[in-house]
């Protein structure tokens, strides 16, 4: 199977040997951060290698099964071989997606922020529905999802919220969600039961570790503290522990309120701001390398990437890839993998990634 060459399995096996040797070095044991990174890389490499070897082994077994069915003229064995071929096709699709997630930051965890558009309670309710969708998606993928900041709406829903989604390739997958999401439904807040259209924006940027050096001059940063809103412990809502940072040269704004102290929120906000600045830098480099970026549309109201129609029919449709489904409730329960895969398989249709960090993130 020459197809395996694109996954660089020999290279991964060689790197696994190197990482294993490094992790066995006593000099590394005293550095928890380095040890954690080595263990994380080793786990990722082992999963990739095992997945490939499993695919090769199961393909060989399926071919033998098919030969046996042909020789014996056994329809049940043939049906078993066909079923296995279908399962193998799914495995190949998963490996292809993994190969596509080879960007500089794709393997990282991510921050994801949701902002309600114009429209008051309607838009704020829609923003909270998206919030729930991404929480459920994270659970389905086995990610750790933590709320970093949340601003509740006056009557219902949320004005904005930021999630930290921690796990392998969280950013590589969720960058597909950058943009404006549009909802069409009969409003539960309209006594006349009229159909309403609401918008919310989703922006995603990768978490970066301390090995990546970011030039952040704190004299360029305006720091505001305020009282956290929403659910919290005995200290969270009683002191000005929440922190908002504005990077004056770029206008990037980040907020954090879920930690127990102002100091902890400040540390988290600095890390978020560095990640946002790095995302901006990566996008600037990509634009310089790729003239096609100039043809990409801006992420703004009216340029929605996906529509969720609850009435007069049920349909979720991505306007970039044209992938669609009538299983609206399944999507709202976090099953967005097919939309993400369709996006990753059509890179020519993708919008700019790093430019997602606009206004307030």
Q: Check residue 193 and give its pLDDT.
A: 77
Q: Check residue 37 and give its pLDDT.
A: 82
Structure tokens at 64: 């033998």
Complete edge-to-edge strand list for the sheet that includes strand 315-318:
144-152, 158-166, 110-116, 195-206, 179-186, 306-309, 315-318, 324-325
Band (pLDDT 50/70/90 cuts) for residue 211 is: low
Closest CA to 339 of 305, 288, 292: 305
Band (pLDDT 50/70/90 cuts) for residue 91 is: confident
The answer to whether 182 and 123 have CB atoms below 8 angstroms apart is no
- Distance (Å, rounded) from C-alpha 308 to C-alpha 305? 10
CA distances from 353 to 128, 166, 205 (A): 23, 19, 8
Rounded to the nearest integer, the mean pLDDT of the chain is 83
Structure tokens at 16: 């696994």
- Mean pLDDT, residues 328-346: 93
C-alpha R_g of the chain: 23
Q: Check residue 353 and give its pLDDT.
A: 39
Q: Whole-prediction pTM value? A: 0.68
- Distance (Å, rounded) from C-alpha 235 to C-alpha 318? 42
Phi-psi region of 347 (alpha: psi -120 to 50; beta: other; left: phi over 0): alpha
Of residues 285 and 240, more confidently modeled: 240
The answer to whether 240 and 174 have CB atoms below 8 angstroms apart is no
- Distance (Å, rounded) from C-alpha 283 to C-alpha 352? 8
Complete edge-to-edge strand list for the sheet that includes strand 242-247:
221-226, 242-247, 252-256
Alpha helices in the chain (DSSP H): 9-23, 26-29, 32-72, 75-100, 121-141, 170-174, 262-289, 328-332, 337-344
CA atoms lying within 13 Å on the CB side of residue 163: 29
Q: Check residue 131 and give its pLDDT.
A: 98
Q: Check residue 72 and give its pLDDT.
A: 86
- Mean pLDDT, residues 117-132: 93
Structure tokens at 213: 């050096």
- Distance (Å, rounded) from C-alpha 293 to C-alpha 353? 10
Q: Check residue 210 and give its pLDDT.
A: 63
Whether residue 258 is predicted with pLDDT greater than 50 in this model: the reply is: yes
Q: Check residue 298 and give its pLDDT.
A: 40
Q: Check residue 7 and give its pLDDT.
A: 64
Whether residue 112 is predicted with pLDDT greater than 60 in this model: the reply is: yes
- Mean pLDDT, residues 73-79: 88
Instruction: 56-62: list long-range contacts, CB under 8 Å, 24+ apart.
Output: 56/1, 56/4, 58/84, 58/87, 58/88, 58/91, 59/1, 59/88, 62/88
- Distance (Å, rounded) from C-alpha 126 to C-alpha 128? 5
Residue 192 burial by CB count (10 A; 0-12/13-18/19+): exposed, middle or buried?
exposed
Percent of the chain with pLDDT over 90: 41
CA atoms lying within 13 Å on the CB side of residue 23: 16
Question: If you ran DSSP here, which 8-state letter would residue 177 be given?
Answer: G
The answer to whether 133 and 211 have CB atoms below 8 angstroms apart is no
Q: What is the largest CA-CA distance in the chain?
A: 79
Q: For each of the domains in the chain, give its residue range(s) and CATH number, in order of start.
A: 2-100 (1.20.58.410), 110-356 (3.30.70.1660)
- Distance (Å, rounded) from C-alpha 36 to C-alpha 27? 14
Band (pLDDT 50/70/90 cuts) for residue 361 is: very low
């Amino acid at each position: 199977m020459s197809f395996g060459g694109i996954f660089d399995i020999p290279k991964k096996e060689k790197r696994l040997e190197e990482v294993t040797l490094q992790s066995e070095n006593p000099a590394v044991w005293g550095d928890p951060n380095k040890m954690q990174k080595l263990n994380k890389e080793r786990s990722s490499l082992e999963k990739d290698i095992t997945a490939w070897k499993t695919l090769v082994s199961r393909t060989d077994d399926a071919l033998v099964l098919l030969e046996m069915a042909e020789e014996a003229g056994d329809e049940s064995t043939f049906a078993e071989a066909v079923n296995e071929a279908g399962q193998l096709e799914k495995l190949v699709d998963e490996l292809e997606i993994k190969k596509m997630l080879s960007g500089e930051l794709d393997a990282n965890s991510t921050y994801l922020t949701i902002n309600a558009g114009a429209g008051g309670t309607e838009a704020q309710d829609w923003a909270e529905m998206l919030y729930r969708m991404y929480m459920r998606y994270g659970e389905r993928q086995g990610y750790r999802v933590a709320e970093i900041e949340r601003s509740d709406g006056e009557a219902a829903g949320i004005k904005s919220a930021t999630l930290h989604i921690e796990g392998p390739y969280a950013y590589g997958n969720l960058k597909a969600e950058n943009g404006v999401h549009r909802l069409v439904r009969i409003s539960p807040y309209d006594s006349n039961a009229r159909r309403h259209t609401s918008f919310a924006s989703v922006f995603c940027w990768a978490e970066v570790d301390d090995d990546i050096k970011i030039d952040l001059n704190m004299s360029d940063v305006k720091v505001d503290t305020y009282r956290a809103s929403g659910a919290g412990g005995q200290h969270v809502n009683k002191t000005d522990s929440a922190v908002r940072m504005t990077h004056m040269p770029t206008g990037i704004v980040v907020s954090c309120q879920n930690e127990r102290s102002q100091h902890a929120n400040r540390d988290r906000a600095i890390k978020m701001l560095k990640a946002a600045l790095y995302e901006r830098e990566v996008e600037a480099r990509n634009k310089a390398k790729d003239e096609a970026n100039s043809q990409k549309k801006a992420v703004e109201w009216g340029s929605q990437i996906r529509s969720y129609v609850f009435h007069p029919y049920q349909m979720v449709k991505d306007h970039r890839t044209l992938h669609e489904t009538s299983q609206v409730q399944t999507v709202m329960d976090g099953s967005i993998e097919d939309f993400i895969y369709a996006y990753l398989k059509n890179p020519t249709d993708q919008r700019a990634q790093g430019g997602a960090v606009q206004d307030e993130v």
